[in-house]
Chain A
Amino acid sequence: MKKLKFEKIDTDCYVETLENGLDIILIPYQNKKDYYISYVAKFGSEVNTFIPAGGKKYKKYSNGVAHFLEHKKFEQSDGTDPFQFFAESGTGANAFTSFDSTQYVCYGTKKFEKNLEYLLKYVNAPYFTDENVEKEKGIIKEEIKRQKDIPEWVLEMKIREAVYREHPRRISIAGEVEDIDGITKEELYDCYNTFYQPNNMFLVAVGNFSIESAMAIIKKELGTKVNTQGKARIRRVKESKNVANPDMQLSLNVKIPKIALGYKMPFETFQIKDHVELDLYLNMFASLLFGSSSLFKERVRNNNLMTSFYYEWETIKGYKTLLIFAETENPELLIGEVEKELQNIETTVDDIERIKKVWISNEVKAIDYIESMVSSIIEDKISYNKVIFNRVDLIKKIHKKKLDEIISKMDFTNRAKVILLPNKIITKEQ
């Protein structure tokens, strides 16, 4: 095991890559009672065309198959229920599918070794039958319907549909109700055999445990596991430059209108080629313009122009997209304010230094929360394929001149817009 340090925040991290390619990242804490373990497959909803393990040709799989597989992973051939197993020691368990990963987690304060061993065992023991696949379809369809009742969720999906033309990020993680019927046990086995392999997975544990016993269990369970194939071959689509739909409007069961904006920018726009550094600069830009202490925020707050507002940068191959979400009674006015802000960007050293202070403070605070430590490591691994140990230094190095250069190259004209209006407003207009 290699011992590495998160610079400036005084926390050790132990990493090792097994011969079969499985990455292990362990952060033991002395002063905590709880632990959080996550076992991650680099396989999410946006992988839907690939050469399955043992096959020769590309094959298209049902939308939503990664999420379906995650649900079915809880089915065991001997009829045991992983939730029950974890519950016996009062341990919580769950699983999540995102666009680019699937993670299986357990968290608690007791029986670390037994629970780690079981987590690795059950995730690596697929048991899909026609019958149990069929049975799950109802539950998944219900989950899809439930999501559609959540306006924020609809907005997140719709803006991606409006921004991306070809990239599967425009497809909802769980798929649509009609996609679910096409899913078979064969599809699940293909996905499992192709992506749930040591060279495509990693394990993160943070909290109260001993490194020696954790490593012993991991090596016993996974040390001898061999990959069924080399690196998985996935068909990547080339995303076109323009947004798919610059102007989308729909009605939903909301009381207050909601908006989303997506500014899509090709990666070539930026002179910084390192994604870690670039993302910090992009976030600094967004924070200065739209963060809680920005002049923009002060203005829209004082004019009651929004009841909620947040933003994020999103990466797909070849593009960075700034997504803005808001709830507002005056969609057009608020969008006007955002646009006005983007036309006239000025940064100050004072503001930059203050935001840096906030970010560095947050890096320190995050250590107290084992769950947020785990998720930030997973995010690093998925976005950058490595854990970022020198983030505090990188933050300190952010420089106004470099930031201004980046901003000067940004193009805000390639924009997608989604407005969700209450049902009755649309009816009135008709």
Chain B
Amino acid sequence: MEYVEKNFGSYKLHMIKTNKFKTIKVRISFRNQIKKDEITMRNILSNVLTYSSKKYQTKRDLIIEAQNLYDASIYIGNSRYGNYINTDVNLTVLNDKYTEEGNYEKAIDFLKELVYNPNISGNKFSKKVLDIVKKDALTSLEGIKEDSTYYSIVRLYEEMDSESPLSYRMCGYIEDLEKINTSNLYQYYKDMINKDLMDIFIVGDIDFLETEEMIKEKFELKTFKKSRVSYYLPEKKARSKKIYVKEDDENAQSKLSIGCRIYGLSSYERNYPLTLYNIILGVGSDSKLFTEVREKNLLCYVINSVLNKLDNTLIIRAGIDKENIKKTVDLSNLQMNLMKKGKFSEEDINKAKEFFSTSLDSMLESESSIIDFYFMMDILGLDNLDVRRKKMQEVTKSEIIKVAKKIKMDTVYCLEGIKE
């Protein structure tokens, strides 16, 4: 795998050459500092851009064109990275070797058409399309509780800190949806195109020179943008005593989410010992939480922990019966305390290191994860693959214990099901 980065001033082109895939993946990534009241607008914009364009007036025309390009696919997704909102426009297309000469270039034109030639007239998006997209969005926003796992996490974050981007709902807000019209959406679109930081990633069996020439010619942008705000959310200490929040739900099962704050880590600690700490505590089916809470005490069907380094949080999630809430929280707390006291073995650490190295290997088997990896490496200035592998192997038990002492439960949120 070879990696080349070209800085064109207004955006960076990242090219990764590998012969592992029969497809080529292109990602245009736009990002800017996140504002709560713009999230809904951004979601709507993404859906409007993939609904039609100047050249392809209907969604069906657009899908037919994608199918004619040997089933090229375009997908837009929005996500939050710490203080930033990120819009990824992804194209996946078969390599010309498996289709016909010129198909890859045509697919890039297609991608460009959707992003840079939207269906507008008189500085307005099409009202018909906007209405359709808004109505669908309203239906899903009204149904937010249907995905109880997602809903319980969102609610947990809101209880942890309702002011911070941590609590922003990436699905958007009904009250913001109502304010969106064809002209303010166009204004927002122009702002995104002109003011957002932008990167283009291309991974696949490509020719660096050809690809560079093609991208430079097709994406000739003049604006110069610079990032000022840090990606990391400011650190915050956990409350001195954790709070419990509950909400009733009609499902049989209860969704428990425990939010923990991570405070005072060095960048080394965050990228190395913390990763291993999380694997040992709650990733996979031989983690402390899984073996102790599920296997030995039969308190739940699923339990795991999820780390968010940019937010300095760690979340424990479990699906349980209502009467086991307190017991599950106490047992999870006990597992965290045992880790602080060093009650885990060298074998646990070695297994976690193996797990990490396998995840790195598997990451290289997916085009999306390769892009994610280089993206994070670039924006956060992280170590490269080889350095990362080596440093992770050298993490010691005392380093993990030191990190364990800096993680504390803050808020327990439970979406309480019907008691059986």
Q: Which of B16-47 contact A (CB under 8 A)?
A: 19-23
A57 at the interface (CB under 8 A from B): no
Q: Which of A136-161 contact B (CB under 8 A)?
A: 138-139, 142-143, 145-146, 148-149, 151
If A33-B361, A34-B362, A88-B351 touch, whether A358 touches B67 (CB-CB below 8 Å) is yes
- How far does the alpha carbon of A93 sit from the alpha carbon of B23 in the complex, in Å? 28
Contact of A256 among B143, B286, B361 (CB under 8 A): B143
A186 at the interface (CB under 8 A from B): no
| A87 and B355 contacting across the interface, CB-CB below 8 Å | yes
- How far does the alpha carbon of A53 sit from the alpha carbon of B300 in the complex, in Å? 35
**A-facing mask of B392-420, CB < 8 A → 1, else 0?**
00000000000000000000000001001
- How far does the alpha carbon of A89 sit from the alpha carbon of B94 in the complex, in Å? 34
For A87, the closest partner residue in chain B by CB is B286
In the bound complex, residues from chain B placing their C-beta under 8 Å from that of A213 are none
Q: How far is the CB of B178 from chain A (nearest CB, A)?
A: 16
In the bound complex, residues from chain B placing their C-beta under 8 Å from that of A292 are 63
Q: How far is the CB of A314 from chain B (nearest CB, A)?
A: 24
- How far does the alpha carbon of A178 sit from the alpha carbon of B350 in the complex, in Å? 43
Contact of B94 among A293, A302, A361 (CB under 8 A): A361
If A91-B358, A357-B68, A368-B22 touch, whether A142 touches B251 (CB-CB below 8 Å) is no
| A108 and B358 contacting across the interface, CB-CB below 8 Å | yes
B364 at the interface (CB under 8 A from A): yes
| B146 and A145 contacting across the interface, CB-CB below 8 Å | no
In the bound complex, residues from chain A placing their C-beta under 8 Å from that of B251 are 149, 253
- How far does the alpha carbon of A94 sit from the alpha carbon of B20 in the complex, in Å? 26
| A301 and B250 contacting across the interface, CB-CB below 8 Å | no
Q: Which of A284-304 contact B (CB under 8 A)?
A: 292-293, 295, 297-298, 301-302, 304
Contact of A354 among B68, B365, B417 (CB under 8 A): B68
A235 at the interface (CB under 8 A from B): no
| B301 and A364 contacting across the interface, CB-CB below 8 Å | no
A83 at the interface (CB under 8 A from B): yes
In the bound complex, residues from chain B placing their C-beta under 8 Å from that of A108 are 358, 362
A81 at the interface (CB under 8 A from B): yes
B59 at the interface (CB under 8 A from A): yes
In the bound complex, residues from chain B placing their C-beta under 8 Å from that of A329 are 139
Contact of A142 among B99, B301, B365 (CB under 8 A): B301
In the bound complex, residues from chain A placing their C-beta under 8 Å from that of B284 are 83, 87, 92
**B-facing mask of A317-341, CB < 8 A → 1, else 0?**
0000000000001000000000000
B308 at the interface (CB under 8 A from A): no
| A145 and B354 contacting across the interface, CB-CB below 8 Å | no
**B-facing mask of A85-101, CB < 8 A → 1, else 0?**
00111111100000000
| B139 and A307 contacting across the interface, CB-CB below 8 Å | yes
Q: Which of B126-167 contact A (CB under 8 A)?
A: 128, 132, 135-136, 139-140, 142-146, 148
- How far does the alpha carbon of A297 sit from the alpha carbon of B62 in the complex, in Å? 13
In the bound complex, residues from chain A placing their C-beta under 8 Å from that of B286 are 81, 83-84, 87
| B71 and A358 contacting across the interface, CB-CB below 8 Å | yes
| A304 and B135 contacting across the interface, CB-CB below 8 Å | yes
- How far does the alpha carbon of A255 sit from the alpha carbon of B249 in the complex, in Å? 12
For A89, the closest partner residue in chain B by CB is B354
| A361 and B60 contacting across the interface, CB-CB below 8 Å | no
- How far does the alpha carbon of A362 sit from the alpha carbon of B98 in the complex, in Å? 11
Residue among B136, B294, B350, B365 with the highest chain A CB neighbour number at 10 A: B365
For B145, the closest partner residue in chain A by CB is A255
Q: How far is the CB of A307 from chain B (nearest CB, A)?
A: 5
In the bound complex, residues from chain A placing their C-beta under 8 Å from that of B300 are 142
Contact of A87 among B23, B142, B351, B359 (CB under 8 A): B351
B118 at the interface (CB under 8 A from A): no
Contact of B132 among A135, A304, A358, A361 (CB under 8 A): A304
- How far does the alpha carbon of A31 sit from the alpha carbon of B22 in the complex, in Å? 11
B335 at the interface (CB under 8 A from A): no
| A90 and B358 contacting across the interface, CB-CB below 8 Å | yes
In the bound complex, residues from chain B placing their C-beta under 8 Å from that of A148 are 252
Q: How far is the CB of B402 from chain A (nearest CB, A)?
A: 24
B78 at the interface (CB under 8 A from A): no
| B361 and A357 contacting across the interface, CB-CB below 8 Å | no
Closest 3 CB pairs of A and B: A90-B358, A255-B143, A90-B354
Offer 24 A-B interface pairs, CB within 8 angstroms, sorted by A: A32-B20, A33-B362, A33-B364, A34-B361, A34-B362, A89-B358, A90-B351, A92-B284, A93-B285, A109-B362, A110-B358, A139-B301, A146-B253, A146-B301, A149-B417, A253-B249, A253-B251, A256-B140, A298-B60, A302-B128, A329-B139, A357-B70, A361-B70, A361-B94
Contacts A142-B253, A355-B67 known; list 4 others, CB within 8 Å.
A83-B284, A109-B361, A292-B63, A364-B94
